[in-house]
Amino acid sequence: RVATREATAAGIRWIFAPMVDVARDARWGRIVEGCGEDPYLNAVMAAARVRGIQGDGIDNPESAIATVKHYIAYGAAEGGRDYNTVDLSERSLRETYLPPFTAAIEAGAGAVMVAFNEINAVPATSNRFTVEEILRGELDFDGIVVSDWGSIYELKNHRSAGDLLSASAQALNAGVDIDMESRGYVKHLES
């Protein structure tokens, strides 16, 4: 709450936090940003952090929009390598990696940031199943879905898209509302 008051005093009204990734491999460099390996602890902390950022409502000048990240299973990257692939069952997705996001959304999070990683060979940024079916459909999330920094452009690196136009179309069709940094929506949205 204190950090949000400081941010809003400087005019910042949208915060890219909390990071709620369940992380079980100490080799992953971002492990220190989260709340560890326990889905329950991560869920409790996710909800508390959303309430701290958003306060009694984002219309309060000392509140901001919370962005829950990195959706989803980013902390399960193989070998602890950033942006890497994730190979997991739907059961693990739902029982281990989804609870913190569910708790944050139930606490009223205004935004969700999709991750860099692939889940079962589908990049999170273009994963219609996780974004449209689970996040929007099952969790009834109606807030903002934003890409991670350059993750739409990185669909080319995942070999999911051949160019920025195709990458932008994939992300948009998967339910990503805002393109952070790739500039694909700006260049190709009308296409």
Which residues have a catalytic role annotated? 148
Question: From CA 179, how far away is CA 48, in angstroms rounded?
Answer: 27
Question: From CA 34, how far away is CA 64, in angstroms rounded?
Answer: 20
Question: From CA 39, how far away is CA 161, in angstroms rounded?
Answer: 33
Cα–chain-centroid distance for residue 19?
A: 8
- The CA R_g of the chain, rounded to the nearest whole Å, is 16
- Helix ranges (DSSP H) in the chain: 2-9, 39-54, 90-92, 99-106, 128, 164-174, 184-188
Question: From CA 62, how far away is CA 85, in angstroms rounded?
Answer: 38
Handedness of CA 31, 16, 149, 123 (dihedral sign): positive
Question: From CA 61, how far away is CA 92, in angstroms rounded?
Answer: 39
> Cα–Cα–Cα angle for 63, 68, 69, nearest 5°?
140
